[in-house]
Structure 1
Amino acid sequence: MFVDPSIHTIDTAFQREDFDAAYLVVENGRAAFIDCGTGLAVPAMLAALTRAGLSPDAVDWLILTHVHLDHAGGAGLLMQQLPDARLLVHPRGAPHMVDPARLIAGATEVYGEAEIARSYGPVLPVAAERVVIAEDGHRVDLAGRSLLCLHTPGHARHHLCVWDERSRAWFTGDTFGLSYRELDSARGAFIVPTSSPVQFEPDALKQSIARMLAHAPQAMFLTHYGRVGDVAKLAADLVEQIDAMVEIGRQCDARPDRHRCLVAALTALYLERAQAHGCPLDDAAVTQVLAMDIELNAQGLACWLDRDRR
């Protein structure tokens, strides 16, 4: 498997190892970060620059796939350390980077105040003059290397993915799901969609996946976690599961114990698929790896069901 040496995977150490990645792309001595993790990840981001033989003034861009705090919470603090960088973000996400108050409030509603303080660190604003809006089809020129930003809703309406023609790979944020390395088997990577609150839209998500596939990618760089190949198979797996999750949502919607029903049904779905995939962990261990994502997917399905009903 060819791994492009100009792309550096950074473990942001959010929650646990090998869970939350950011990326450093280097071209002709210039650099772009794609996502940045939380405020607690800033030392890891700067250390990645050092390992690449670069200083902070070599960074031209911080590109955010979306502004959920595990991807973008550290943007304001990191930008303070990058004197020449600009921040590139979807039009819907830009206001939250300039004034993150609503972003913090929304995350606090989902995770709770104590968890925000423990896991996310400071969430600081970015000066408006340093923020660049990425409309659909926006191109970044990184020292002659073209990075194409396409809007990819489905997980979030303010989501974009970044196409790197040089490596023929996408930086996918959460649009191409979650794939944890401890669930890999002889069949390759195991993948799960993410419907976490609050803007899951199944049809839009499937359309976004199809849009990425149209570029015939050789690899995907996921936030959760790392590089995966065998893209066509994983895309088919995601679409099958999105449809199954929609059916689960419909079946559980009228239940008085809807959330418990959603959690149980999602757990059963993922365990069945993990067993068929030959995942090396037993059911209890697979459930432990996916526990937070199952909970968030259940919450996201509930948000979608309630919104769809309105």
Structure 2
Amino acid sequence: MSAEHGIYTIDTGFHRPRFDAAYLMVEEGRAAFIDCGTNHSVPRMLEALAAQGLGPGDVDWLVLTHVHLDHAGGAGALMRELPRARLLVHPRGAPHMIDPSRLIAGATAVYGEAEMARSYGTILPVAAERVVEAPDGHEFALAGRPLRCIDTPGHARHHLCLWDARSRSWFTGDTFGLSYREFDTAQGAIAIPTSSPVQFEPEALKASIRRLLDASPTAMYPTHYGRVEEAERLADGLFVLVDGMVEAVRHAATAGDDAHARLVEALRTLYLGHLRAHGVALPTAEVLEVLGVDIELNAQGLLVWWQRTASA
């Protein structure tokens, strides 16, 4: 767990090490969590708090970038441990935190019942009076530390990013892509877009990334995984890959049967080429092992977007 400007990175333990992060922000003895992983992550969140000499009553906020379960699945369980905290979430996500039944059904359709039970457990609701909706431009504070949310669709329509003026940093959820430490090279970090089902919109995603860049951030804190700098350079790569992904799904979806398999192979080729150009020297099998889940979900999300666009 590392810290800068009172910001601590927590490995939630979901899926594999250094895959899924939550963040703890500490200011004047008060705390906020940004994203929280799954139900299984709750002990790690509380341990991170204790490591800073704080207890559950010292937490004022749990901020969710969006309500996908690797970011928010443990929110209900964690809120039951935090007596003074309020949950802040995009207006489109708030109903799913208060009544998670549709969220559970949607995730089950993607992952299946067995995987839902294994990875996420029982998703608990959050009391409506503890939920605060954060529309575009919503401002609040942690012990006087100014924070601001903006609406960032593209990965999901219920996605927000959190601006911390103190560190000049964004907590980006999935809007600024995936940046795994295994792919760091002498050139720095690298980021790959995530288009998981079911609300991917490529042009909206690129517009959201441009909004993040407008603030001239010092650093980004994506959920997958950890603090990164050089936002302009990373964004350039994200734009190239988003366009490449759109081209890949267009070809895969119009070339006959088994579009999913063709798209998975096209994404493997696209991402491998991008990583090799960045100097990533890991064996291909290891690269594909790191990206395996993401490639599968990206293919699903791209095909849902293509089918929706084609039928419009």
TM-score (norm 2): 0.98
Residues 28-86 of structure 1: CA deviation (Å, up to 9, x unaligned): 11111000000000000000100011011110000000000000000000000000000
How far apart are residue 252 of structure 1 and its match? 1.0
The one-letter code matched in structure 2 to 1:100 is P
Contact 2:147–2:164 (8 Å) recurs in 1:
yes
CA contact (8 A) 1:184 1:280 kept: no
- Aligned match of 1:6: 6
Structure 1 moving runs of 4+ over 3 Å: none
Which amino acid in structure 1 is aligned with residue 279 of structure 2?
A: G
Partner of 2:116: 116
Q: CA deviation at 1:3?
A: 5.7
- Using the TM superposition, give the Cα deviation of residue 120 of structure 1 relative to its aligned residue in structure 2, in angstroms: 1.0
Deviation at 1:280, TM superposition (A): 3.1
Encode CA deviations 1:213-261: one digit per residue, 9 max, x unaligned: 0000011001000001111000000011001111111111122110011
Q: Would you say 1:105 and 2:85 are equivalent positions?
A: no
Match of 2:94 in 1: 94
Q: Using the TM superposition, give the Cα deviation of residue 4 of structure 1 relative to its aligned residue in structure 2, in angstroms.
A: 1.5
Aligned to 2:25: 25
**1:130-161 CA deviation, whole Å, 9 max, x = no partner?**
00110110012111101110000000000000
Cα deviation, 1:78-126, whole Å, max 9, x if unaligned, reads 0000000000000100000000011011001001111111111221000
Secondary structure, in 3 states, of the residue corresponding to 1:153? coil
In the alignment, is the contact (CA less than 8 A) between 1:10 and 1:21 conserved in 2? Answer: yes
2:70 matches 1:78: no
**Counterpart residue number, 2:228:** 228
Q: Which runs of no fewer than 5 residues in structure 2 stay unpaired? A: none
Give the secondary structure class of the aligned counterpart of 2:10.
strand
Equivalent residue for 2:175?
Answer: 175
The residue that corresponds to 1:294 in the other structure is 295
Q: What residue number does 1:250 align with?
A: 250
| 1:218 is aligned to 2:236 | no
| Aligned counterparts of 1:213 and 1:206: Cα–Cα separation in 2 | 11
Q: Is the 8 A contact 1:7 1:23 kept in 2?
A: yes
Separation (CA, whole Å) in 2 of partners of 1:263 and 1:21: 26
Aligned to 1:142: 142
C-alpha displacement of 1:5:
4.3
Q: Distance in 2 between matches of 1:275 and 1:309?
A: 33
SS in 1 for 2:122: coil
In the alignment, residue 157 of structure 1 is paired with which amino acid? Answer: R
Partners of 1:171 and 1:121 in 2: CA distance: 26
Counterpart-to-counterpart distance in 2, 1:133 and 1:273: 38
The percent of aligned pairs where both chains have the same amino acid is 65
Identify unmatched segments of 5+ residues in structure 1: none
SS of residue paired to 2:178:
coil
Q: Supply the distance in 2 between the matched residues of 1:294 and 1:258 (Cα, whole angstroms).
A: 14
State TM-score, norm by structure 1.
Answer: 0.98
What does residue 125 of structure 2 align with? 125
| Contact 2:221–2:228 (Cα < 8 Å) also in 1 | yes
2:100 counterpart letter in structure 1: P
1:180 is matched by which residue type in structure 2? Y
SS at match of 2:260: helix
For residues 194-209 of structure 1, what are the structure 2 equivalents within 5 Å? 194-209=194-209
**CA–CA separation in structure 1 for the residues paired with 2:67 and 2:275:** 30
Conserved in 2, the CA contact under 8 Å of 1:77 and 1:122? no
- The answer to whether 1:304 aligns with 2:299 is no
SS state at 2:149 partner: strand
Contact 1:64–1:87 (8 Å) recurs in 2: yes
What residue is the counterpart of 1:262 in the other structure?
A: 263
What is the number of equivalent residue pairs in this alignment? Answer: 309
Equivalence for 2:272? 271
Structural mapping, 1:152-171, within 5 Å: 152-171=152-171
CA contact (8 A) 2:5 2:166 kept: no
CA RMSD of aligned residues (A): 1.0
Distance between the aligned counterparts of 2:183 and 2:116, measured in 1?
A: 27
Q: Deviations over 1:8-40 (max 9, x none)?
A: 101000001100000010111111100000000
Letter in 2 for 1:6: G
